[in-house]
Structure 1
Amino acid sequence: MKLRLIECFIPKHIFVGLDNIVDEYKKNIVWHNVSELGSSMVIRILATLNATEAIVDMLNKEYGGSNFRIIVFEPTTTVPTITEEKKEENILDSEEVKKGRHRLSRHEIYDKLFSVMNSPNEYYLMLIISTIVASIGLLRNDVTIIIASMIIAPLLSPNISLSFSIGVADWELAKKSLHNLFFGIGLALVFSILLGFLAPISIDNPQISSRLSIGLMDVVIALCAGVVGAVSTASGISSVAIGVMIAVALLPPLVAFGLMVGSGHAIEAIPILLLFVINIIGVNLSSILVFYAYGISPYKWWKKEKAKNLTIISVMLWFLLLFLVVMLISYLKY
């Protein structure tokens, strides 16, 4: 059973007890305790992962207007071992608990994505290195090196982060995601065009020619990659991260396009650019739908409707862009 230890520090004079939280989530709370620490009260709750978001939101609602702090830990182990029992009463779980049943809390996902978006130096360094590695792999027609660049490539993070920001109506995270995405694309293009100018690549290169022919299967791959990327982010399953990077292959098409432009084959490289655009659209479209299906929404009630409208508009926009790109591909092929 996945657990979280929630610690809440609040001023002593505003503490009003835990009865409402314990009564509401008694099936999901393994242990709870309240103690004094100087002028503060410390609330400790060991709860199941699926109820963590709801409990944190309830604490925030109860004490959020004061000088307080909530910290959530992931216990590595607890003794005696706690096993999840199948009880008939589980069907009575609240909607908040059901939403969090198979994912991390909104707060954990946000912190994970925001920390990545807030580390631009490391992000751009990894992007430059992966661009160089991908360029070498394409020039040498070495699939192993190209796969290595996919594993390094950080371009997936801003796309997933952008989709999450729409689900929680967070403009600050959206702006950081868009900045990192566009600046990262520009940086990879500049480096790959320069490398293509210094070491021209032939259009007959197998790694180039294979990316000149695109179809509906590429759309399916992009959509699947977005689903897996969002699921791995929301559920915390890090073991699939490498597989996601390889499946989506955002960087190699972009680098291949840059190499072709630098080598003087800009017109011939248009299908490769479309392949990259398809991957961007597919990842964002499917990840938005996954986050919505997981029930991810803002904490503040007045933002919930706004986030829902943003999700609908974003899905319609990405779907329209996908349709237009597919029509363009069909036109170019026939």
Structure 2
Amino acid sequence: MDGARLAASRPARALAAALLSLALLSACGGSGREAASGAPSRTGTPVATPSGTSSGTSSGTPQDPTTPASAPPPASGTGTAAPRPVRAAVYFLHDGKLSAAPRTVTGPATAAAALRALLAGPNGVERGHDRATAIPSGTALRSLAVRDRVATVDLSGRYDDAPGASADARLAQVVFTATRFPGVERVRFRVDGRPAAGLGPAAGGRPLGRGDFEDLSPAVLVESPLLGDTVTAPLRVHGTANTFEAEFRLRVSDGSGRAVADVRVAATSGSGTRGTFDVTVPYRATGGTGPGTLTAYVLSAEDGHRVVLDTVPLTLAR
């Protein structure tokens, strides 16, 4: 009896095994069709990039706060951006007032590079045009960090050697050079890793901005063009000014001293409040390319003579 039941159950088990095998084959066949169809998996699927936007970069990504706005973007498609030359400016002294001079530095740490260029002092051409520095020779940049639009600049001990009357000037040179960069509005000073103690307004670690050095800023500070630039007509000139009723004049002269342009300029504010200006000056020069000078001046209320406020030696391209 038991043998008969065992024999009868064998066909049933065989049928169940056959049905299970068929189901497994059907499932494998479905997977094979999906793979053969060529449909890509979700991982690694290319994403369309809108025109004018780099792939993988958000349009709202903030710019490096220590990179000038004119700096070119890093090359796309590479893991690391190659160092690139960036035009910057450093600030020396001309007749006791701040004056900008051009420098080409290499990114990405462009603000630090500009400060190192400042610490190196004026070159021979700049010294020939009476540009000087109040920063002691041998001063080195130890570190630079930017947070909340404040740059913390740590300089070597040479920086505060016998500051005397030049303390404000050497502070102003660093402040103006650093705040030339977008994202930097003020500078906090450290010397050999400690808060600056013997440097006047920098004592106690208070961050300083350009407004703290109005007495060292010329009445008209030309920020562009810069000393030695080669320019063409029309000439764009921009900077800041603090003159009576916000008015002054810009004169372009050639190598012989002959005026090739002389225009009236009105800044956004004046009479005790520093404003900005941005003007285009047409000029007509004769002969070949040669030296020239951009002069900012006002007319004396007493006798009408020119009172020079700033001069920028240039090369005029014809």
Q: TM-score, normalised by structure 2?
A: 0.22
Which of the pair is proportionally richer in helix? 1
**Larger RCO of the pair (alpha carbons < 8 Å, separation 6+):** 1
Q: TM-score, normalised by structure 1?
A: 0.21
Which has more radius of gyration?
A: 2
